[in-house]
Structure 1
Amino acid sequence: MAGHGHRLGPGPHRAGVAHHGGPAAPLQPPEPPGHQPPGREFLRPPPGGTGSGIVQAENGHAIVAQGVSKRFGGFQALRGLSFSLRRGEVLALLGPNGAGKTTMVRLIASLLKPSEGHIRVFGYDTVREAAEVRQRVGLLTEAPGLYARMRAEEYLAFFGRLYGMAPAQLAKEVPLWLTRLGLWEARHLRLGEYSKGMRQKLALVRALLHRAPLLLLDEPTSALDPAWTHQVHGIIRELRDQGHAVIVCTHNLAEAQALADRVLVLKGGQAVLEARVQDLRATSPRRRLMDLRLAQPVDGLGSLLAQWVEVESAGEDWARFWTEDPAQTNPPLLQRLTAQGIPVVTLSEVHRSLEEVYLEAMGQVEEARREET
């Protein structure tokens, strides 16, 4: 174990990062051992093997899960779940407590074995090739265990060695990440002296330390203030842009909406909704709700617009209407209003929040269950 005079290496001024606790230089893309040109799996083959578990990028997928179920005795935690995650994509895994989110994350990380179905991570089977999978995963659990008597550098060195990191790599990455997460000045404190927010940031450093191409982050901004939440969001986006695949489990729907490219909503161990965030925010799969704002009141605005569109609601200087094709409906509508001397301030589509979509999905599930009984 580190300690007893052991030091990981140069301070941040010698590691190429800032010497203060604020944000450091931008992250560099991951360069795992055995790096190969794009288009092939870039991670090293199993020791002593020829890389038979390495596939031709699985069409760019980091995760492919098919028919995954998990039982704990008589309790069914997951039921036939199938989904995929591509490189350079953030998936928000949502659902109420007990929906199966944590179980799914542990299955992906090869900490549990599925009762049925299978999961492949960068082409590796999570049961038969668990060691290869774990090497490629950075895991942040909701309640990360920290060793209270250790200090940050020795704690990270301990896990870095478990990840197979070389001493030179540890000497570079540890000060970089401690600085990036504002913990460099606190590196000499024992972890038992850390605040809850500091512990959360250190756990995040542990997950990011070896630059795994797949990140599984359970409530990554728990206990963080708004400023550090913003910083962590920036790191997640940066890693996504570099090609990392990321799963974020969160109850913070605003965070999910800000970070995710896609969402997967679980309820009772089953997927009840899976879609791109930009598609979910549409008010209807077939129709669009438009919002019209005028510069001055117009008597009978709703009746006037009803000649041309399906009005949902209206006031003296605003209205909302439905259209199946805004490109066909809106230009002639604006021309008619202009011809009648009615000045338009804005005409825009009404988007739903992810919270509205989520609550609607939960409501539909409950309604379906009531009908079944």
Structure 2
Amino acid sequence: MIQAHELSKAYVDLHRGEFVALDGLSFQANRGEVYGILGPNGAGKTTALRILSTVLQPTGGSAIVNGYDVVTQPSQVRRQIGFMSANTAVYDRMTAWEMVEYFGRLYGIEDEPLRERMEDLFERLQMQEIRDLLGAKMSTGMKQKVSIARAIVHDPPILIFDEATSGLDVLVARAMLDAVAELRDQGKCIVFSTHIMREAERLCDRVAIMHRGRLLAEGNLDALREQHDQPDLEELFFELIHQQEAVVTA
């Protein structure tokens, strides 16, 4: 459902010259799986996901999202995806229902189908108690539920989560991961970026490990652990990052 080929993104910095944020990233994410993109801050995870969601244009390479090109067919791509990050805003002066309804209308969903879709979402995500609550009065967990609902109100086949659990307490983060797993079981293709290895081990079917814009390793967790002779994903992650840092600083 997602095919990225040699994606790159470079910026011109007045002081440092050209800065390469993404350097030849290639991967494929499929229907009914959670594809994890792992890496420390500055690895290029957010840059890659912003290209896939058409917020940024790549400097080079290509990406196809459910049959549509992110550069030449951005409006079609946006209809295929739901995007959520830790920085997704919730409007203080709108209720939960109003916010999700607003985004549903942006996607052109007709009144009756939208109402039926929202009733189902509010029930499944256990949001009925916050239906009429203003954003300004919501807890962090409540806001996350609203963000999920508005990301999936148009029932997209592909969902992109960019560090979506960052800053959440343990209970809210667990609920968030459970929601992602349920969406995968419904057949969605999910791209999930994180720097928390335990999340990736619990949730991801396959992972890509990135550092300084480059792909260091990719595959399912068991195969990667065996290939690199490491007992768990965290040790594998640190070993790969350490090796890459040694090469860069040599």
Question: TM-score normalized by structure 1?
Answer: 0.62
Q: In the aligned structure 2, how far is the partner of 1:182 from the partner of 1:225?
A: 18
Q: Gaps (5+ residues) in structure 1?
A: 1-61, 288-350
**Distance apart, 1:223 and its partner CA:** 4.8
**Compared CA separation, residues 97 and 79, structure 1 to 2 (3 A):** same
Counterpart residue number, 2:73? 129
Letter aligned with residue 3 of structure 2: V
Counterpart residue number, 1:199? 143
Counterpart residue number, 1:67? 6
Letter aligned with residue 71 of structure 1: A
Question: TM-score normalized by structure 2?
Answer: 0.91
The structure with the largest alpha-carbon Rg is: 1
TM alignment of 1:149-168, pairs within 5 A: 149-168=93-112
CA contact (8 A) 1:93 1:266 kept: yes
**Distance apart, 1:180 and its partner CA:** 2.8
**As a proportion of its length, which structure holds more helix?**
2
User: Per the alignment, in what secondary structure is the counterpart of residue 281 of structure 1?
Assistant: helix
Counterpart residue number, 2:29? 85
**Distance apart, 1:247 and its partner CA:** 0.6
CA contact (8 A) 2:86 2:165 kept: no
**Compared CA separation, residues 221 and 175, structure 1 to 2 (3 A):** farther
User: Per the alignment, in what secondary structure is the counterpart of residue 147 of structure 1?
Assistant: coil
**Distance apart, 1:70 and its partner CA:** 0.7
Q: In the aligned structure 2, how far is the partner of 1:152 from the partner of 1:158?
A: 10
Letter aligned with residue 103 of structure 1: T
Greater shift, 98-107 or 241-250, is seen at 241-250
Q: In the aligned structure 1, how far is the partner of 2:221 from the partner of 2:82?
A: 24
How many correspondences in the alignment? 245
Letter aligned with residue 266 of structure 1: M
CA contact (8 A) 2:86 2:167 kept: no
CA contact (8 A) 2:130 2:142 kept: no
How high is the sequence identity, in percent, across the aligned residues?
38
Q: Gaps (5+ residues) in structure 2?
A: 13-17
CA contact (8 A) 1:200 1:224 kept: no
The CA RMSD measured in Å over matched residues stands at: 1.8
Match of residue 234, structure 2, among 330, 337, 355: 355
Per-residue deviation, residues 135-182 of structure 1 (Å, max 9, x unmatched): 000100220122111111111111111122222222122233233333
Q: In the aligned structure 2, how far is the partner of 1:176 from the partner of 1:222?
A: 27
CA contact (8 A) 2:218 2:224 kept: no
CA contact (8 A) 2:36 2:204 kept: yes
CA contact (8 A) 2:45 2:193 kept: yes
Letter aligned with residue 237 of structure 1: A
Q: In the aligned structure 2, how far is the partner of 1:160 from the partner of 1:268?
A: 37
Q: Does 1:213 align with 2:157?
A: yes
Letter aligned with residue 256 of structure 1: A
CA contact (8 A) 1:90 1:261 kept: yes
Counterpart residue number, 1:243? 187
Counterpart residue number, 1:146? 90
CA contact (8 A) 1:66 1:118 kept: yes
TM alignment of 1:263-342, pairs within 5 A: 263-282=207-226, 284=227
Per-residue deviation, residues 25-62 of structure 1 (Å, max 9, x unmatched): xxxxxxxxxxxxxxxxxxxxxxxxxxxxxxxxxxxxx1
CA contact (8 A) 1:221 1:232 kept: yes
CA contact (8 A) 2:160 2:191 kept: yes
**Distance apart, 1:199 and its partner CA:** 1.2
TM alignment of 1:113-128, pairs within 5 A: 113-128=57-72
Letter aligned with residue 136 of structure 1: Q
Match of residue 103, structure 1, among 38, 47, 50: 47
Q: Does 1:370 align with 2:239?
A: no
Counterpart residue number, 1:348? none
